Amino acid sequence: MAPISFARGAPAPECLDPGLVSDCARAALERDGIAILSYGTGGGYGPLREVLAERHGVEPGRVFLTTGGLQGFVFYAPLQLQLQPGRVLVEAPTYDRPLKILAREKAEVVALPMDEEGLDLDALESELSKGGPVSFLYTIPTFQNPSGRTLGTDRRRRLAELAAAHDLAVLEDDPYGRVRYEGEAPPSILELEGGQRVTFTSSFSKTVAPGLRIGYFVVPQDLVAAYDDRAVSTYISPSLLPQATVHELISRGAFEPNLDRVRGLLKARKDAMLDALAAEMPEGTRWSTPEGGYFLWLDLEDGVDAADLLTRATEAGVTFVKGSDFFPNGSGGHSAARLAFSYETPERIAEGVSLLASLLR
Ligand SMILES: Cc1ncc(COP(=O)(O)O)c(C=O)c1O
Protein backbone atom coordinates (compact mmCIF):
# COMPACT_ATOMS: atom_id res chain seq x y z
CA MET A 1 0.00 0.00 0.00
CA ALA A 2 1.19 3.55 -0.76
CA PRO A 3 2.60 5.34 2.29
CA ILE A 4 0.23 7.73 4.07
CA SER A 5 1.49 11.15 3.06
CA PHE A 6 1.29 14.07 5.47
CA ALA A 7 4.16 15.52 3.41
CA ARG A 8 2.28 16.47 0.24
CA GLY A 9 0.95 20.04 0.25
CA ALA A 10 -1.44 19.02 -2.50
CA PRO A 11 -5.23 18.84 -2.71
CA ALA A 12 -6.96 15.49 -2.37
CA PRO A 13 -7.77 14.13 -5.85
CA GLU A 14 -11.51 14.54 -5.04
CA CYS A 15 -10.99 18.32 -4.85
CA LEU A 16 -10.22 18.48 -8.57
CA ASP A 17 -13.08 18.65 -11.07
CA PRO A 18 -11.86 17.80 -14.60
CA GLY A 19 -15.42 17.93 -16.02
CA LEU A 20 -16.02 21.49 -14.85
CA VAL A 21 -12.58 22.64 -16.03
CA SER A 22 -12.98 21.08 -19.47
CA ASP A 23 -16.43 22.66 -19.90
CA CYS A 24 -15.01 26.05 -19.01
CA ALA A 25 -11.98 25.62 -21.28
CA ARG A 26 -14.25 24.76 -24.21
CA ALA A 27 -16.56 27.71 -23.54
CA ALA A 28 -13.59 30.07 -23.21
CA LEU A 29 -12.10 28.89 -26.51
CA GLU A 30 -15.41 29.19 -28.30
CA ARG A 31 -15.88 32.73 -26.99
CA ASP A 32 -12.37 34.15 -27.26
CA GLY A 33 -10.27 31.48 -28.99
CA ILE A 34 -8.19 33.69 -31.25
CA ALA A 35 -7.00 35.92 -28.40
CA ILE A 36 -6.37 32.91 -26.15
CA LEU A 37 -4.30 31.09 -28.78
CA SER A 38 -2.23 34.15 -29.68
CA TYR A 39 0.64 35.74 -27.73
CA GLY A 40 -0.72 37.85 -24.90
CA THR A 41 0.73 40.56 -22.67
CA GLY A 42 3.31 39.92 -19.94
CA GLY A 43 0.63 40.35 -17.30
CA GLY A 44 -1.62 37.62 -18.68
CA TYR A 45 -5.27 37.27 -19.77
CA GLY A 46 -6.90 40.72 -19.56
CA PRO A 47 -10.42 39.70 -18.46
CA LEU A 48 -9.07 37.69 -15.49
CA ARG A 49 -6.79 40.59 -14.51
CA GLU A 50 -9.88 42.80 -14.50
CA VAL A 51 -11.85 40.46 -12.24
CA LEU A 52 -8.96 40.24 -9.77
CA ALA A 53 -8.35 44.00 -9.91
CA GLU A 54 -11.97 44.53 -8.92
CA ARG A 55 -11.66 42.01 -6.11
CA HIS A 56 -8.72 43.96 -4.69
CA GLY A 57 -9.90 47.46 -5.60
CA VAL A 58 -6.89 48.29 -7.82
CA GLU A 59 -6.25 49.17 -11.47
CA PRO A 60 -6.06 46.03 -13.71
CA GLY A 61 -2.56 47.09 -14.77
CA ARG A 62 -1.36 46.33 -11.23
CA VAL A 63 -2.43 42.68 -11.45
CA PHE A 64 0.11 40.26 -12.94
CA LEU A 65 -0.87 36.68 -13.64
CA THR A 66 2.05 34.31 -13.25
CA THR A 67 2.75 30.64 -13.85
CA GLY A 68 1.81 29.72 -10.28
CA GLY A 69 2.46 31.90 -7.25
CA LEU A 70 6.01 30.67 -6.84
CA GLN A 71 6.98 32.00 -10.28
CA GLY A 72 6.00 35.45 -9.03
CA PHE A 73 8.42 35.04 -6.12
CA VAL A 74 11.15 34.29 -8.64
CA PHE A 75 10.38 37.69 -10.19
CA TYR A 76 9.78 39.59 -6.96
CA ALA A 77 12.80 38.61 -4.87
CA PRO A 78 15.64 39.53 -7.29
CA LEU A 79 13.80 42.66 -8.37
CA GLN A 80 13.28 43.87 -4.82
CA LEU A 81 16.85 42.93 -3.84
CA GLN A 82 18.10 44.99 -6.77
CA LEU A 83 15.86 48.00 -6.03
CA GLN A 84 16.58 47.93 -2.32
CA PRO A 85 19.58 45.77 -1.41
CA GLY A 86 19.46 44.57 2.19
CA ARG A 87 18.30 41.88 4.60
CA VAL A 88 15.29 39.76 3.76
CA LEU A 89 13.06 39.17 6.77
CA VAL A 90 11.08 35.93 6.92
CA GLU A 91 8.94 34.13 9.47
CA ALA A 92 10.44 31.23 11.41
CA PRO A 93 9.26 28.79 10.22
CA THR A 94 8.42 29.73 6.62
CA TYR A 95 7.65 28.10 3.25
CA ASP A 96 10.79 26.22 2.21
CA ARG A 97 10.86 26.98 -1.53
CA PRO A 98 11.30 30.76 -1.15
CA LEU A 99 14.16 30.01 1.27
CA LYS A 100 15.83 28.07 -1.55
CA ILE A 101 15.26 30.93 -4.01
CA LEU A 102 16.67 33.43 -1.51
CA ALA A 103 19.73 31.21 -0.94
CA ARG A 104 20.25 31.10 -4.71
CA GLU A 105 20.11 34.91 -4.74
CA LYS A 106 22.70 34.90 -1.93
CA ALA A 107 20.35 37.06 0.15
CA GLU A 108 21.03 37.65 3.84
CA VAL A 109 17.95 36.10 5.46
CA VAL A 110 16.82 37.00 8.98
CA ALA A 111 14.23 34.66 10.50
CA LEU A 112 11.81 36.32 12.92
CA PRO A 113 10.00 34.32 15.62
CA MET A 114 6.28 33.53 15.55
CA ASP A 115 3.81 32.48 18.18
CA GLU A 116 0.32 31.01 17.94
CA GLU A 117 -0.97 34.30 16.48
CA GLY A 118 1.64 34.51 13.74
CA LEU A 119 4.64 36.79 13.31
CA ASP A 120 5.98 38.39 16.52
CA LEU A 121 5.70 42.10 15.74
CA ASP A 122 7.91 43.18 18.64
CA ALA A 123 10.65 41.11 17.06
CA LEU A 124 9.94 42.72 13.68
CA GLU A 125 10.04 46.21 15.18
CA SER A 126 13.28 45.55 16.99
CA GLU A 127 14.86 44.13 13.80
CA LEU A 128 13.77 47.25 11.88
CA SER A 129 15.09 49.53 14.62
CA LYS A 130 18.55 47.95 14.41
CA GLY A 131 19.11 50.02 11.30
CA GLY A 132 20.91 48.88 8.19
CA PRO A 133 19.06 48.27 4.96
CA VAL A 134 16.17 45.83 4.75
CA SER A 135 15.10 44.69 1.31
CA PHE A 136 11.69 43.25 2.20
CA LEU A 137 9.60 41.20 4.58
CA TYR A 138 8.14 37.94 3.27
CA THR A 139 5.04 36.93 5.21
CA ILE A 140 2.31 34.29 4.83
CA PRO A 141 -0.24 35.74 7.24
CA THR A 142 -3.17 33.36 6.72
CA PHE A 143 -3.08 29.60 7.39
CA GLN A 144 0.66 29.83 7.03
CA ASN A 145 2.69 27.19 5.26
CA PRO A 146 4.05 25.40 7.27
CA SER A 147 2.49 26.29 10.64
CA GLY A 148 -1.21 26.78 9.79
CA ARG A 149 -1.13 29.94 11.96
CA THR A 150 -2.97 33.16 11.12
CA LEU A 151 -1.88 36.70 11.96
CA GLY A 152 -4.62 38.44 13.98
CA THR A 153 -6.25 41.68 12.81
CA ASP A 154 -4.53 43.91 15.42
CA ARG A 155 -1.14 42.58 14.39
CA ARG A 156 -2.00 43.16 10.73
CA ARG A 157 -2.78 46.79 11.52
CA ARG A 158 0.47 47.16 13.40
CA LEU A 159 2.36 45.51 10.54
CA ALA A 160 0.82 47.98 8.06
CA GLU A 161 1.84 50.87 10.37
CA LEU A 162 5.39 49.55 10.75
CA ALA A 163 5.68 49.17 6.96
CA ALA A 164 4.67 52.82 6.53
CA ALA A 165 6.88 54.09 9.38
CA HIS A 166 10.00 52.22 8.15
CA ASP A 167 9.24 52.36 4.43
CA LEU A 168 9.34 48.57 4.47
CA ALA A 169 8.45 46.59 1.34
CA VAL A 170 6.25 43.61 2.23
CA LEU A 171 5.37 40.54 0.20
CA GLU A 172 2.04 39.17 1.50
CA ASP A 173 1.71 35.60 0.22
CA ASP A 174 -1.86 34.37 0.61
CA PRO A 175 -2.70 31.24 -1.38
CA TYR A 176 -4.80 29.72 1.45
CA GLY A 177 -6.94 32.64 2.69
CA ARG A 178 -10.06 31.63 0.78
CA VAL A 179 -9.72 28.02 1.85
CA ARG A 180 -11.33 28.88 5.20
CA TYR A 181 -13.47 26.30 6.98
CA GLU A 182 -14.65 28.37 9.95
CA GLY A 183 -14.26 31.78 11.60
CA GLU A 184 -14.08 35.29 10.16
CA ALA A 185 -11.49 36.32 7.57
CA PRO A 186 -9.23 39.16 8.78
CA PRO A 187 -8.44 42.03 6.37
CA SER A 188 -5.40 41.64 4.14
CA ILE A 189 -2.28 43.63 4.91
CA LEU A 190 -2.56 45.01 1.35
CA GLU A 191 -5.96 46.43 2.23
CA LEU A 192 -4.76 47.92 5.53
CA GLU A 193 -1.63 49.49 4.07
CA GLY A 194 -3.17 50.68 0.83
CA GLY A 195 -0.78 48.91 -1.55
CA GLN A 196 2.08 51.42 -1.64
CA ARG A 197 4.69 49.08 -0.21
CA VAL A 198 2.74 45.82 0.08
CA THR A 199 2.73 43.39 -2.83
CA PHE A 200 -0.01 40.79 -2.49
CA THR A 201 0.10 37.38 -4.09
CA SER A 202 -2.32 34.50 -4.30
CA SER A 203 -3.04 31.61 -6.58
CA PHE A 204 -5.77 29.37 -7.98
CA SER A 205 -3.79 26.25 -6.99
CA LYS A 206 -5.72 25.72 -3.77
CA THR A 207 -9.12 26.99 -4.90
CA VAL A 208 -9.38 25.37 -8.36
CA ALA A 209 -6.37 23.20 -9.35
CA PRO A 210 -2.57 23.45 -9.03
CA GLY A 211 -2.07 21.95 -12.49
CA LEU A 212 -3.56 25.06 -14.08
CA ARG A 213 -0.51 26.96 -12.75
CA ILE A 214 -2.17 30.34 -12.20
CA GLY A 215 -0.79 32.67 -9.60
CA TYR A 216 -1.26 36.41 -9.41
CA PHE A 217 0.51 39.41 -7.98
CA VAL A 218 -0.97 42.79 -7.06
CA VAL A 219 2.05 45.06 -7.31
CA PRO A 220 2.62 48.68 -6.24
CA GLN A 221 2.15 51.09 -9.15
CA ASP A 222 5.87 51.95 -9.32
CA LEU A 223 6.80 48.27 -9.89
CA VAL A 224 4.44 47.68 -12.83
CA ALA A 225 6.97 48.42 -15.58
CA ALA A 226 9.67 46.28 -13.96
CA TYR A 227 7.26 43.34 -13.64
CA ASP A 228 6.20 43.67 -17.21
CA ASP A 229 9.81 43.62 -18.29
CA ARG A 230 10.56 40.47 -16.22
CA ALA A 231 7.50 38.65 -17.55
CA VAL A 232 8.01 39.57 -21.21
CA SER A 233 11.70 38.68 -21.11
CA THR A 234 10.99 35.34 -19.35
CA TYR A 235 8.06 33.83 -21.24
CA ILE A 236 6.60 36.64 -23.39
CA SER A 237 3.22 35.99 -21.81
CA PRO A 238 2.06 33.34 -19.33
CA SER A 239 -0.15 30.50 -20.59
CA LEU A 240 -3.52 32.07 -21.49
CA LEU A 241 -5.78 29.02 -21.82
CA PRO A 242 -5.83 28.10 -18.11
CA GLN A 243 -6.35 31.76 -17.22
CA ALA A 244 -9.26 32.12 -19.64
CA THR A 245 -10.68 28.85 -18.24
CA VAL A 246 -10.64 30.23 -14.71
CA HIS A 247 -12.11 33.50 -15.95
CA GLU A 248 -14.98 31.52 -17.47
CA LEU A 249 -15.39 29.54 -14.24
CA ILE A 250 -15.71 32.77 -12.26
CA SER A 251 -17.97 34.57 -14.73
CA ARG A 252 -20.45 31.68 -14.98
CA GLY A 253 -20.73 31.70 -11.17
CA ALA A 254 -19.06 28.31 -10.65
CA PHE A 255 -16.06 29.46 -8.60
CA GLU A 256 -17.75 29.84 -5.20
CA PRO A 257 -19.78 26.59 -5.41
CA ASN A 258 -16.64 24.69 -6.40
CA LEU A 259 -14.73 26.32 -3.55
CA ASP A 260 -17.51 25.41 -1.09
CA ARG A 261 -17.23 21.81 -2.23
CA VAL A 262 -13.44 21.89 -1.78
CA ARG A 263 -13.84 23.47 1.67
CA GLY A 264 -16.20 20.68 2.72
CA LEU A 265 -13.78 17.97 1.62
CA LEU A 266 -10.81 19.60 3.32
CA LYS A 267 -12.59 20.52 6.54
CA ALA A 268 -13.44 16.84 7.03
CA ARG A 269 -9.72 16.08 6.67
CA LYS A 270 -8.67 18.84 9.06
CA ASP A 271 -11.20 17.66 11.66
CA ALA A 272 -10.07 14.05 11.24
CA MET A 273 -6.47 15.07 11.92
CA LEU A 274 -7.30 17.23 14.95
CA ASP A 275 -9.53 14.51 16.44
CA ALA A 276 -6.90 11.83 15.91
CA LEU A 277 -4.14 14.01 17.42
CA ALA A 278 -6.27 14.73 20.49
CA ALA A 279 -7.08 11.05 20.92
CA GLU A 280 -3.65 9.57 20.24
CA MET A 281 -0.72 11.89 20.86
CA PRO A 282 1.35 11.46 24.01
CA GLU A 283 1.34 14.23 26.59
CA GLY A 284 3.85 16.97 25.83
CA THR A 285 3.08 17.01 22.10
CA ARG A 286 1.32 20.20 20.93
CA TRP A 287 -0.13 21.29 17.61
CA SER A 288 -1.68 24.32 15.93
CA THR A 289 -5.45 24.36 15.28
CA PRO A 290 -5.95 26.14 11.94
CA GLU A 291 -9.35 27.36 10.74
CA GLY A 292 -8.38 26.71 7.13
CA GLY A 293 -5.55 25.90 4.75
CA TYR A 294 -3.65 22.66 4.32
CA PHE A 295 -1.26 22.30 7.24
CA LEU A 296 -0.75 22.10 10.93
CA TRP A 297 2.43 22.31 12.96
CA LEU A 298 3.34 19.63 15.43
CA ASP A 299 5.66 20.49 18.33
CA LEU A 300 7.08 17.26 19.65
CA GLU A 301 8.23 16.78 23.22
CA ASP A 302 11.56 18.52 23.91
CA GLY A 303 14.44 16.41 22.79
CA VAL A 304 12.49 14.30 20.27
CA ASP A 305 14.43 14.40 17.01
CA ALA A 306 12.03 14.93 14.09
CA ALA A 307 14.59 13.67 11.55
CA ASP A 308 14.89 10.38 13.43
CA LEU A 309 11.10 10.17 13.77
CA LEU A 310 10.76 10.74 10.02
CA THR A 311 13.10 7.83 9.27
CA ARG A 312 11.13 5.51 11.54
CA ALA A 313 7.77 6.81 10.29
CA THR A 314 8.74 6.32 6.65
CA GLU A 315 9.65 2.71 7.43
CA ALA A 316 6.27 2.30 9.14
CA GLY A 317 4.43 3.79 6.12
CA VAL A 318 3.70 7.44 7.00
CA THR A 319 5.57 10.55 5.87
CA PHE A 320 5.70 14.24 6.85
CA VAL A 321 8.14 17.13 6.45
CA LYS A 322 10.51 17.75 9.33
CA GLY A 323 10.35 21.18 10.92
CA SER A 324 13.97 22.14 10.24
CA ASP A 325 13.27 22.26 6.47
CA PHE A 326 11.32 25.47 7.11
CA PHE A 327 14.13 27.40 8.81
CA PRO A 328 17.03 29.08 6.99
CA ASN A 329 19.96 26.62 6.97
CA GLY A 330 17.96 24.23 9.15
CA SER A 331 18.47 26.61 12.09
CA GLY A 332 15.38 25.54 14.09
CA GLY A 333 12.43 23.20 14.22
CA HIS A 334 14.43 20.10 15.16
CA SER A 335 11.62 18.83 17.38
CA ALA A 336 8.79 19.84 15.06
CA ALA A 337 6.97 18.65 11.96
CA ARG A 338 4.62 19.96 9.30
CA LEU A 339 1.61 17.73 8.81
CA ALA A 340 -0.49 18.27 5.67
CA PHE A 341 -4.09 17.11 6.09
CA SER A 342 -5.06 18.14 2.55
CA TYR A 343 -4.21 15.04 0.59
CA GLU A 344 -5.25 11.83 2.35
CA THR A 345 -8.78 10.61 3.15
CA PRO A 346 -10.10 11.13 6.72
CA GLU A 347 -9.74 7.37 7.35
CA ARG A 348 -6.10 7.29 6.26
CA ILE A 349 -5.42 10.45 8.25
CA ALA A 350 -6.68 8.75 11.43
CA GLU A 351 -4.56 5.70 10.63
CA GLY A 352 -1.45 7.82 9.92
CA VAL A 353 -1.74 9.83 13.13
CA SER A 354 -2.20 6.63 15.09
CA LEU A 355 0.99 5.22 13.56
CA LEU A 356 2.94 8.40 14.34
CA ALA A 357 1.66 8.42 17.91
CA SER A 358 2.69 4.79 18.40
CA LEU A 359 6.24 5.71 17.32
CA LEU A 360 6.30 8.57 19.82
CA ARG A 361 5.04 6.57 22.78
C1 LIG B 1 2.83 29.84 0.97
C2 LIG B 1 2.82 29.40 -0.45
N3 LIG B 1 3.09 30.28 -1.41
C4 LIG B 1 3.09 29.94 -2.71
C5 LIG B 1 2.82 28.65 -3.08
C6 LIG B 1 2.91 28.33 -4.54
O7 LIG B 1 1.75 27.93 -5.09
P8 LIG B 1 1.56 27.84 -6.66
O9 LIG B 1 2.90 28.06 -7.31
O10 LIG B 1 1.02 26.49 -6.88
O11 LIG B 1 0.60 28.92 -7.00
C12 LIG B 1 2.54 27.66 -2.13
C13 LIG B 1 2.28 26.28 -2.53
O14 LIG B 1 2.23 25.36 -1.79
C15 LIG B 1 2.54 28.06 -0.78
O16 LIG B 1 2.30 27.18 0.21
CB 277 within 8 A of CB 260: no
Q: Is 212 a pocket residue for ligand 1 (Cβ < 6 Å)? A: no
Q: Is 172 in the pocket of ligand 1 (CB under 6 A)?
A: no
This prediction's pTM: 0.97
Beta strands in the chain (DSSP E): 4-5, 63-66, 87-92, 109-115, 118-119, 134-139, 170-173, 198-203, 215-218, 286-287, 295-299, 318-319, 321-322, 336-340
Domain 4-15+256-360: state its class.
Answer: alpha beta
Tell me how far the alpha carbon of residue 227 lies from the centroid of ligand 1, in angstroms. 19
- Looking at residue 239, what is its pLDDT? 96
Residue type, position 89, single letter = L
Query: Is residue 324 within 6 Å of ligand 1 at its C-beta?
Result: no
Name the residue ranges covered by the structural domains of the chain. 4-15+256-360, 18-251
Residue of the CA atom closest to atom 14 of ligand 1: 9
Pocket test for ligand 1, best of 70, 338, 341 (most atoms within 8 A of CB): 70
Among the four given CATH numbers 3.40.630.70, 3.30.70.1400, 3.40.640.10, 3.30.565.10, the one describing domain 18-251:
3.40.640.10
Q: Which amino acid is at 180?
A: R
* pLDDT values of the chain reduced to their tens digit, one per residue, 361 residues: 899 999 999 999 999 999 999 999 999 999 999 999 999 999 999 999 999 999 999 999 999 999 999 999 999 999 999 999 999 999 999 999 999 999 999 999 999 999 999 999 999 999 999 989 999 999 999 999 999 999 999 999 999 999 999 999 999 999 999 999 999 999 999 999 999 999 999 999 999 999 999 999 999 999 999 999 999 999 999 999 999 999 999 999 999 999 999 999 999 999 999 999 999 999 999 999 999 999 999 999 989 999 999 999 999 999 999 999 999 999 999 999 999 999 999 999 999 999 999 999 8
Q: Is 94 near ligand 1, meaning CB less than 6 Å away? A: no
Measured in Å, residue 175 CA sits from the centre of ligand 1 at 6
Residue 293 near ligand 1, beta carbon < 6 Å: no
pLDDT at 1: 81
